[in-house]
Every structure is written in C-alpha cells, then in structure tokens.
Amino acid sequence: MDIITQTKARFSRFLAAFFRKRRARIGIYGPPNAGKTTLANRIVRDWVGETIGVVSEIPHETRRASRKTDIRIMDASGDSITIDIVDTPGVTTKIDYKDFLEYGLEREEAVQRAREATEGVAEAMHWLREDIDGVIYMLDSTEDPFAQVNIMMVGIIESRHLPVLIAANKIDLPDAMPQRIRMAFPQHPVVPISCVGGQSVEDLYTKMVQHFG
C-alpha cells in the first residue's frame, strides 16, 4: 500500500470515528406495574426473537435496569432505526415492604424485595441522568396519569431535552381511558397500546422510527 493510499485510509477512519453517532439508548420509564417489561419483551421478541425480563403482578418485579442492544425496528414504509432498549425499574417516591406481604411474600422476602426496589429506583434515575438518549414513558390507561410522580418524571425528562413518547398501555381493559393521558401530557405524542394483546404496537413502532430516528 503506497503512502497516499495509507493516508487516505487513515483519514477515512478518523472521519468515520469523528462522525459516528452512538446508537441511541431508549429507556422505558414509568411507575411500577405500568407494563414496562412487557413492552420491552414485546419489542425484543418482535425484532430479535428473545425476551429481556420476567413479568409479575407483584410491583417492583424489575429491580435492575437491563439493556438489549442492536434492535432494528422498521415501520410499514421500510424506514428503520437501530437502538438499544433499556428496561428500567418502576419509579416511585415510596416503597413499603408491607405492601408485598399482600401478595403472599414472607416478611424476609418482602424486606429484601423492598431494599432491591429502592436501589432499582435510584439506578433508574442514574441511567436517566447519564446514559439515556430517548424515553418511552409507559402509563397504565386505567390509572390516574396526573399522579405527581408522572408529572415529576416527565418534567425531569423534558429538562434533559430528551425526546419522549408516551405509551398509554392496557387499552384492552374495560376502564382504560387513554384520552386522560393525552389531556395530562398534550405536549408529547401519546400512543394507546396493549402490550399483552399486541393492539396498536405497530403504531408505536412507527412513532419510534419517526421520533427517535
């Protein structure tokens, strides 16, 4: 290889390294039991054929953030994005181990779960501060979207100038009211979905390509 070719190759590598954009890390945030892990599992299963975490009716099943890399999502027109998905523990301002006893857990197990859950919330906040490029904020359509923790979290995400998509989950349930979520957060796109039934998940993928691409 002559000196001109070597110099060109080195310059090309320099330019590629300089302009290479890190793959966007999209965090799935929201209160406990909104369906964050169910959505993460659906995305990963639909596009990679795997799962990311265990789902449970007991709050705070996800107590550590977990990441799945290199997920290529395509919309109906063929446009695509490649992202990392980060499933995060549910964010709250209070955790009482006694709440877990109602689900049949022994005291020791409930205390341990509560301790891990507090660490998980702190970890989720840390990821948001350091390592997240965009957010899917997951809400249960049957719950009050005006809960203070949601208002605070969306405000925190906005203050970091991160793109936000709001997923209004559980629209398959009879008392779902996704329109209340639209009223609560008119400044952000809201996509009503059912992660369990798969309703309108394609719409979410289209919005993800548009919003995070």
Which residues here bind other proteins, judged by CB under 8 A?
Answer: 91-97, 111, 114-115, 118-119, 121-122, 125-126, 128-129, 146, 148, 151-152, 155-156, 158-160
Question: What's the min distance (Å) between Cβ of 109 and other proteins?
Answer: 12
Cβ nearer to other proteins, comparing 45 with 107: 107
Cβ nearer to other proteins, comparing 79 with 119: 119
Question: What's the min distance (Å) between Cβ of 43 and other proteins?
Answer: 26
Question: What's the min distance (Å) between Cβ of 14 and other proteins?
Answer: 36
Nearest one of 163, 150, 113 to 30, comparing CA atoms: 150
CA atoms 98, 64, 209, 206: torsion sign: negative
- Tokens 């992660």 locate to 195
Question: What's the min distance (Å) between Cβ of 120 and other proteins?
Answer: 8
Instruction: Please give the Cα distance from 178 to 167 (Å, whole number).
Output: 9
Query: Are residues 41 and 55 in contact, defined by beta-carbon separation less than 8 angstroms?
Result: yes
Cβ nearer to other proteins, comparing 78 with 104: 104
Query: Are residues 172 and 142 in contact, defined by beta-carbon separation less than 8 angstroms?
Result: no
Query: Are residues 85 and 68 in contact, defined by beta-carbon separation less than 8 angstroms?
Result: yes
- Tokens 């998905």 locate to 85
The neighbouring-strand residues paired with 81 are: 73
Cβ nearer to other proteins, comparing 156 with 173: 156
Question: What's the min distance (Å) between Cβ of 60 and other proteins?
Answer: 12
Instruction: Please give the Cα distance from 155 to 147 (Å, whole number).
Output: 13
Cβ nearer to other proteins, comparing 51 with 118: 118
